[in-house]
Chains A and B, each alone.
Chain A
Amino acid sequence: MKASGPIGRSVAPPNVFNPNERTSNNFACDVCLPFLLQAQNADGGWGYRPRQASATEPTAWCLLALAKAGGAVAALERGRNWLAAAQQAVGSWPTRPETVQGNWVTALAGLALGAAGGPREAVARAANWVCGSQSRTGGFRARLGKLLTRKAVTEQDDSLRGWSWTPGTAGWVEPTSVSLIFLREFAPLELEASAVERRRMGEAMLYNRMCPGGGWNTGNPKVYGVPGIPQPGPTAWALLALAGQPGRDEIRRSLDWLARNYDSIAGVSSLALGRIALQASGRQPPRLEPRLATLFAADGFLDDVTAFAQATFALGEGPDVLRAARATG
């Protein structure tokens, strides 16, 4: 692992629980962080909603948020222990312990475990599982089938393999993006030999799946010739994954799309991810706190633990593991 990477970093984030170190993050400190601390389960993990059994994704997002916010040392440690214990011997994580099959959450969990100071060996094991997990769309049989049935439903290069949501299925924008973000934490020699090519192809796949006017949806840029409609979440993820290549026209157009549409984003998760991506690219989005306060007043974010954690992360001022400062090396 690169010494300069966020995993095992030595730079301490400001402690938002200490009033002397707090800056402008009132919403994160007064609303989000207390919610997250209260929602933590006795086993150390977090469920998708309070009082639900612990699951990998919300736990990973809570660890990312707490690691960035700083301060909640005991909660962070308990969460890290839950996540480390939930990892499977082969390096992967399932959505929940009872769902067994390792899947897309592995890259996010590996990223979070590293950010929370988890065992380096466990994080590397996750990375190697991610390297070995490949989407299914680009196979010979798929291409032959498409040719024989003359199906031209989608206009995309299926030979470009990314990462899938579940093993044995097609590659999509979000799992591919998160995997790329996770893998860039490692120097090439730290991973299996296939990693360099996997990353190159994953990036090419993302460019290929961009919607014609910029931005991304789940992963179909055109269906029956009709341009796909970009969505804030996948756009933010792809931008974060490709942020090491700011000079490309596709990046500029997609950032323009996200910035232009930011004010019309309606959900907490999309607002948070959009802000993270815009900030990572050096653009300053409109203030997030007033929007969050309005949504919180309406329905308390529907008690969505992941949304609270993403908002905390977006508002946090510590080092950002999703940024591409250490772009593909």
Chain B
Amino acid sequence: MALSTSPLLPASERPPSLVAIRRAAGYNGELLELLYETLREFRLPVVGKSVLLKPNLVQSDSQCVINTHPAVIAAAREAFLKLGAGRVTIGEGPGHERDTAAILEEIRLRDWVGGLRGLFVDLNVEEVREVALRTRASKLRRLFLPAAVLEADFVVSMPKMKTHHWVGATLSLKNLFGIVPGSCYGWPKNVLHWAGIENSILDLATTVRPDFAIVDGIVAMEGNGPIQGTAKAAGVLVMGDDPVAVDATAARVMGLAPERIGYLKKAGYVLGNLREEKIRQIGEKPEKVRQRFAVLDRFQGLVDFPAASKNAPEQS
């Protein structure tokens, strides 16, 4: 069951988190090995379990700048099976496109993972159960959520690394909007906007905390994301079992200060580790792969990129 039961601890009482940054130049066949070896280091309890991969599939996008690349989804699926997972399915409830099948066709997911019947679950129209939200940051209080998510043993949030025109950056926590069923709440899931996007993210994440996060930052998005931005070759995957620590690390890779991203800052109080000293990095260090992501004017205050860096800041 994916409903979170982990304690909501203040940062001072939480043990350090482990986050891996791996370089990946492209979406090629080496991804499986890279993911498998990295996942092994986390000793994940997935043997015999049902694993639900939750990528970020927003709308048709043949270049896969908006959506999590199918190569990453396929490699993650293979890696979890190789680790002994009993069943690995892929589930998403796109927020801007009612025709989920059209997105799957356009990104050619079938070419990467084989037949989709029985493998892919459209979370927008799955059967639902009403859930009391664990925190009251927003005024939502309760939501209907897909049984496919609630009944999965292990949920993996697999966002695309993107800037976001409402909240600064969209990563593994914001990706949870895709589990909210459109058939109940619409396309877009406007009820979350009216309840406050940042607080809705927090309430969702405390209630259905992803067990693992894999951020596709191989080709990311900067500028007017999450849909109308431009491609940014960041060349990394960021992974870990603390979604807050993963998102904080990904934000640092994007040249953004995670403690200035509203929902991440709040998530750092109760859900996971935000501060660098509480995150043990494996693989690359954030500063070694950091790039300056262009952001909209209203988010210039999030930028945390040393001007004297060898990786010269780009004009936003």
Contact = CB atoms under 8 A, between A and B. Distances in A.
A224 interface: yes
B17 to A, nearest CB: 34
Interface in A219-262: 223-224, 226, 229, 231-233
B37 interface: no
B78 interface: no
A53 B186 contact: no
Interface string A97-109: 0110001100000
Most buried by B among A49, A175, A301: A49
B187 A172 contact: yes
A267 B102 contact: yes
Contacts of B96: 217-218, 231
Interface in A22-68: 47-49, 52-53, 55, 57
B184 A303 contact: no
A98 B127 CA distance: 10
Interface in B152-191: 165, 181, 183-188, 190-191
A166 B98 contact: no
Contact of B101 (A95, A229, A267): A267
A233 B102 CA distance: 11
B289 interface: no
B197 interface: no
A169 B190 contact: yes
A266 B165 contact: no
Contacts of B97: 231, 233
Interface string A119-161: 0000000000000000010000000000000000100000000
Nearest to B125: A48
Contacts of B106: 266
Interface string B272-311: 0000000000000000000000001000000000000000
A224 B165 contact: yes
B112 interface: no
B227 to A, nearest CB: 8
A164 B186 contact: yes
Using C-beta atoms within 8 Å of the partner chain, give the interface range for chain A: 35 or more
B102 to A, nearest CB: 3
Contact of A302 (B60, B98, B101): B101
A41 to B, nearest CB: 13
A307 interface: yes
Interface in B120-158: 120, 122, 125-128, 130, 144
B184 A99 contact: yes
A169 B184 CA distance: 13
A243 to B, nearest CB: 20
Contacts of B144: 99
Contacts of B99: 232-233, 267-270
B185 A165 contact: yes
Given A266-B60, A267-B99, A269-B101, A55 B183 contact: yes
B115 interface: yes
Most buried by A among B100, B120, B125, B188: B125
B101 A268 contact: yes
Contacts of A226: 224, 228
Contact of A95 (B120, B184, B190): B184
B194 interface: yes
A166 B185 contact: yes
Given A95-B183, A302-B116, A266 B105 contact: yes
A80 B144 CA distance: 26
B183 A57 contact: yes
Most buried by A among B99, B115, B127, B193: B99
**CB-based closest 8 A-B pairs:** A165-B186, A267-B102, A266-B105, A267-B99, A48-B125, A169-B190, A267-B101, A266-B102
Interface of B: 59-60, 96-103, 105-106, 110, 115-117, 120, 122, 125-128, 130, 144, 165, 181, 183-188, 190-191, 193-194, 224, 227-228, 296
Interface of A: 47-49, 52-53, 55, 57, 95-96, 98-99, 103-104, 136, 153, 164-166, 168-170, 172, 174-175, 217-218, 223-224, 226, 229, 231-233, 265-270, 295, 298-304, 306-307
11 contacts: A96-B128, A98-B128, A153-B165, A164-B186, A165-B191, A169-B191, A231-B97, A233-B97, A267-B99, A299-B110, A303-B117
